[in-house]
Amino acid sequence: MRIKAVLFDLDDTLWPVGPVISHAETTLQQWMAVHTPLVAQNYSIERLRHHRSVLVKTNPRFEYDLWALRHAVLSKIFQETGEHPGMADEAMAVFAEARNQVALYDDVVPCLTALGERVGLGSISNGFADLQVIGLAPHFQVSLAAHSFGCAKPDPRIFLAACAAMNLLPDQVVYVGDDLVLDVEAAQQAGMQGIWMNRRCLSSDERPHPHICPDAIITGLDELENCLS
């Protein structure tokens, strides 16, 4: 078999991310109501999002390091409201713990277990989920996250680095993700095959970016093995 490895996106490919972020932000807000009440009273979840949207433009690092962006916003507002800026570390620990409480799609563990017997597996993500905490780390030979690598998808460097870490050429690797631009097109431009995870079962009329042509389209990981045979 020409394909030697499969790399995966994480958020919205292996688990739905919307409920995870919502839960993490609510958990943080509840923690701040107890430990930094003045911050909680003056900064809603929506207002914190606005501050991140402004601050992200001030530092190139924030474009790929979402942990650093959240931490910087919290440090800033804690200081402005008279709280110790060091409380941002505690706040981020609370957020990160909740951020890792993901609900895997039912097909994830069976697929990774079966597929791992045939090909190498890895992951590339722009988020900062902790695969050790989540329990998926043992399935992957390599896992690259934008915040620690230094650039984010669709930058080809992160895709090529994952291939190099597995001692494989890009054309020996398939990348699976839900985002047609960040995952499919970016992987293809790095020389890999890009498979679109269409879990929402969007029709061709509903599909965004119709100019992007995935090498395959799947609605669940149980279909992936047929794409590799």
State residue 206 phi and psi, 5-degree precision: -85, -15
pTM: 0.94
pLDDT in tens, the chain (229 residues): 589 999 999 999 999 999 999 999 999 999 999 999 999 999 999 999 999 999 999 999 999 999 999 999 999 999 999 998 889 999 999 999 999 999 999 999 999 999 999 999 999 999 999 999 999 999 999 999 999 999 999 999 999 999 999 999 999 999 999 999 999 999 999 999 999 999 999 898 898 999 999 999 999 999 998 888 6
Q: Which two tokens stand for residue 121?
A: 């597996």
CB 75 within 8 A of CB 87: no
Q: What is the C-alpha end-to-end distance of the chain, expressed in Å?
A: 7
Q: The tokens 């394909």 sit on which residue?
A: 3
| CA neighbor of 45 nearest in space, from 112, 118, 110, 95 | 95
CB 38 within 8 A of CB 82: yes
Q: Could you give all domains of the chain from N- to C-terminal order, each with its CATH number?
A: 5-16+102-228 (3.40.50.1000), 18-99 (1.20.120.1600)
Cross-strand pairs, 176 = 8, 195
What Rg value do the Cα atoms of the chain yield, rounded? 19
The Cα 56–Cα 168 span in angstroms is 34
Provide the residue type at 120 as one letter: G
Which pLDDT does position 1 carry in this prediction?
Answer: 52
The three-class DSSP label of residue 215 is coil
